[in-house]
Structure 1
């Protein structure tokens, strides 16, 4: 065995409390190197005649990525504490892996050899809101969803959809437009809306806040927003707002004061200014989002800035009963601020959802003291590479997803924010080269993956568009221009996800090897149900009978079409199957 590849750390994604009484223990090994792994564990204080009392539990291989295998065990320690190690076996040898290294036999004379989980504290269990697991999100860019009240229109507002979207044009989307079309979302099966920023700002995207306590007049009044939230809640829809706390807008009053008064401004320490006077060209001499001079970075460690932003976070929950905050550019804000942010909002509403925009490995933010989830862009990238562009094989896709799933604890994966596109990326249909069948397959993957899925407005009726600003076009409400078949497919997939709990489960997401690089198979299984998802990206049918036999299948139900099918069935080219297996 390659001992150098065997890895465990008694923290984060390798050792964690799944709930108030259960520990999850993981081990990483070289791919295809070991034949078995056994967890050796015991209470550190249980001794008999000078011998520490060990128990053993076979660990299951929970998945593989490109280089490693992962093993997992679920343990309920008798007294909420545990010392543990691993018995690892290959074709040629057996060893015991502990915190102090490798041994030929399990030491029982001193627990200090072993990894330690000191105590399972209820307060330290990662606990995201339970409702998030059952939520299907719909992202709305308010300026482009629907114009319900022309009286709110900014100066120069264009007729709806009359021009291509640009960074500076306006079409008058507002809250009344959203209220008027809530039934569209209800019919689809949506149970959560994520709004990009709604606060007063100069741009059409509103990521350049002028006043965090005021709604932009083009969207309506606070009374209208309150009515919108109430209407959503009445229809079983949660509401999440976008908070831009990394930076403000150029016309934010404190920044304007620094521009006017320079080093004499009382707000000069609200920002990261390198020298005075402030300049914007060729590069700003103050920190910004990227190098955008209209988005000066806020100094979130400054007491006044912190106090202001935390009051903002509290205000919109207390006054309007919102259900979540999506945090823009979250990785560039200090961890201390986010810890205080979590304490502030959770005191007001315990089950508020905190979602960070982070595009890379996010474990430092997901330890239970900051965010409930991050936007799962690694899932996005892998799913589009396989399903939309066929850049990678099914095996490569499985390896990438397994890597993501093993990068975080299971209870983190259960609420990860899964998306296929957004206001920051090209639209799904465009990435899929206009192929609606691929989009249906991608929706099938999205709606059967662990996490909380999000649909970008317009994707359900076949809207296309490249990167920003083309992905921010006006919603198409003309029935003759909508893809109704695509809408019905997505509606059916959402309904299946809601009906079958195992489809959203993170506990069992098992990929099956195939003989075709363009065919993806994975099994979702719990104590009540086993479901096989098949995605065929190839140009020929793919027979499933051998896989059904391997799964000891006796009968098969096609859940999507709601019918019993024969064991000798296939996945047609460019299609998908969602099959319930009875063993």
Structure 2
């Protein structure tokens, strides 16, 4: 008998905030070495700004006021790179971030506010500084650890960038030696790391390039071990495409939902998509109309079991893509429409740090810029207020967090959908056009429409039809409860 799919219930109500630790906030309580880049200068591929976990702790008030209840950190373990995907020691939080004690303090403070914390697990590859790989560099073919990696010949040419690596690496990069997960010792090492931090108190793992470990049994064991340590742990994979293989209930709870991000950029940003080669998993994006958008969204919602769809990690930007505002030519109306959509869709919405105040940035390292705490005159306060408001909207409506989804209109540049949870209903409508538009939307019997977000020029009910006239480039949410 097929087992039911089970995902962490809390994730259905989660609102994530993704933080790149070196760039969000730094605290004077964490002693740093010299040679840090100035906080307010453009980021560089190798430079460090000095952000740390105590800095995040000191800004929990900001996150709480924004409405965030879950933080997802890109890697925090000891590493010789600012992004920390070059892991040196999986059991030590990088001292530049404050070490293990800083994570302990942050977890305790966050959990006291009912804010959860999800870490980034980089388990496909390590770094040249990782002990067992460094042992091979020193000892060559005599090293007992040669089968921890995919070594081919000796000596390893780890620092000769003019030659192809003579060992297995990720993406052709000498700095990222690929683990041999067929080795039982390697497998147990990774499982033990995952369980250690689950027992330490983290609330889940975001898995970096998990498809590179092409072994269902590995991820099935990973799930069993992590869930045994914390049954409510959230396991989300970085997969940019359809991921049914990993989302049948025995491996991951969800994936980063780039399948939804692409049509959101193409529809809400249809008038202003920047002339970028979008990269990072994005093909060059072409504008789409509401009908094309509806088709793409419905296809994405039909991919997986509803239990999984409800906890997909939905996002507009990330550390691997240009920021949304840059993708749409800094069109703030497009950003608002997309953010309203993000906060009213099935799944767990994610705000990439700084998007809410209007940060822009192109390819790496541009999208990994420092959060300008000391230059609040440069914050887009209108966007910040809007993001706070749409987060409050989501939190106020169980239908918008957990309800079913049904497209009710997709014509030209107008789009609307309805979400239903028990006897609670909500409809969300969008007008992406430059002029006002009237939308005729079907109503269930006895529904009494009530505007709960946005503004409308006209709202009329006649014979179970709701006519909404929306201002240009705007959206609205309507409660349709029978007892409204």
Residue matched to 2:212 = 332
Residue matched to 1:125 = 4
- Deviation of the 1:566 alpha carbon: 3.0
Residue matched to 2:463 = none
- Deviation of the 1:141 alpha carbon: 0.4
Tell me, yes or no, if structure 1 residue 438 matches structure 2 residue 334. Answer: yes
Within the candidate set 448, 451, 454, 2:350 is matched to 454
Runs of 4+ that moved beyond 4 A: 550-554, 561-565
The answer on whether the counterparts of 2:150 and 2:178 sit within 8 Å (CA) in structure 1 is yes
Residue matched to 1:580 = 479
Within the candidate set 342, 345, 359, 2:223 is matched to 342
Rounded Cα–Cα distance in structure 1 between residues aligned with 2:403 and 2:258: 17
Q: Deviation string for 1:482-540 (max 9, x for gaps)?
A: 111111111111111111111123623324232x2x22222222331332211211111
Within the candidate set 93, 106, 116, 1:215 is matched to 93
User: What TM-score, normalized to structure 1?
Assistant: 0.75
Tell me, yes or no, if structure 1 residue 536 matches structure 2 residue 435. Answer: no
Within the candidate set 194, 218, 232, 1:313 is matched to 194
The answer on whether the counterparts of 1:510 and 1:524 sit within 8 Å (CA) in structure 2 is no
Q: Deviation string for 1:16-67 (max 9, x for gaps)?
A: xxxxxxxxxxxxxxxxxxxxxxxxxxxxxxxxxxxxxxxxxxxxxxxxxxxx
The answer on whether the counterparts of 1:301 and 1:337 sit within 8 Å (CA) in structure 2 is no
Rounded Cα–Cα distance in structure 2 between residues aligned with 1:187 and 1:456: 16
Residue matched to 2:281 = none
- Deviation of the 1:151 alpha carbon: 4.8
- Deviation of the 1:269 alpha carbon: 0.6
> CA 1:132–1:472 in structure 2 vs 1: closer, same or farther (change >3 Å)?
same
> CA 1:582–1:190 in structure 2 vs 1: closer, same or farther (change >3 Å)?
closer
User: What TM-score, normalized to structure 2?
Assistant: 0.90
> CA 1:252–1:538 in structure 2 vs 1: closer, same or farther (change >3 Å)?
same
- Deviation of the 1:318 alpha carbon: 1.5
Within the candidate set 480, 498, 501, 2:398 is matched to 501
The answer on whether the counterparts of 1:355 and 1:371 sit within 8 Å (CA) in structure 2 is yes
Higher relative contact order (CA 8 A, sep 6+): 2
**Match of 2:407, SS?**
strand
Q: Deviation string for 1:89-142 (max 9, x for gaps)?
A: xxxxxxxxxxxxxxxxxxxxxxxxxxxxxx35xxx2111110000000000000
Rounded Cα–Cα distance in structure 2 between residues aligned with 1:185 and 1:373: 24
**Match of 1:378, SS?**
helix
Rounded Cα–Cα distance in structure 1 between residues aligned with 2:396 and 2:469: 24
Residue matched to 1:559 = 452
**Match of 1:397, SS?**
helix
Instruction: Judging by fraction of residues, say which structure has more strand.
Output: 1
Within the candidate set 363, 388, 412, 2:308 is matched to 412
**Match of 2:372, SS?**
coil
- Deviation of the 1:181 alpha carbon: 0.6
Rounded Cα–Cα distance in structure 2 between residues aligned with 1:540 and 1:449: 25
Residue matched to 1:62 = none
Residue matched to 1:164 = 42
Q: Deviation string for 1:413-450 (max 9, x for gaps)?
A: 01111011100000011112111111111100100111
Tell me, yes or no, if structure 1 residue 547 matches structure 2 residue 428. Answer: no
Residue matched to 1:55 = none
Residue matched to 2:202 = 322
Tell me, yes or no, if structure 1 residue 273 matches structure 2 residue 172. Answer: no
> CA 1:236–1:151 in structure 2 vs 1: closer, same or farther (change >3 Å)?
closer
Rounded Cα–Cα distance in structure 2 between residues aligned with 1:389 and 1:430: 13
The answer on whether the counterparts of 2:5 and 2:305 sit within 8 Å (CA) in structure 1 is no
Tell me, yes or no, if structure 1 residue 569 matches structure 2 residue 468. Answer: yes
Tell me, yes or no, if structure 1 residue 232 matches structure 2 residue 103. Answer: no
After TM superposition, the structure 1 = structure 2 runs for residues 143-292 of structure 1, keeping only pairs within 5 Å, are 143-149=22-28, 151-161=30-40, 163-279=41-157, 280=160, 281-292=162-173
Q: Deviation string for 1:155-188 (max 9, x for gaps)?
A: 3112212x21111111110011101111000001
Rounded Cα–Cα distance in structure 1 between residues aligned with 2:198 and 2:481: 46
Q: Which one has a bigger Cα radius of gyration? A: 1
The answer on whether the counterparts of 2:315 and 2:350 sit within 8 Å (CA) in structure 1 is yes
Residue matched to 2:378 = 481
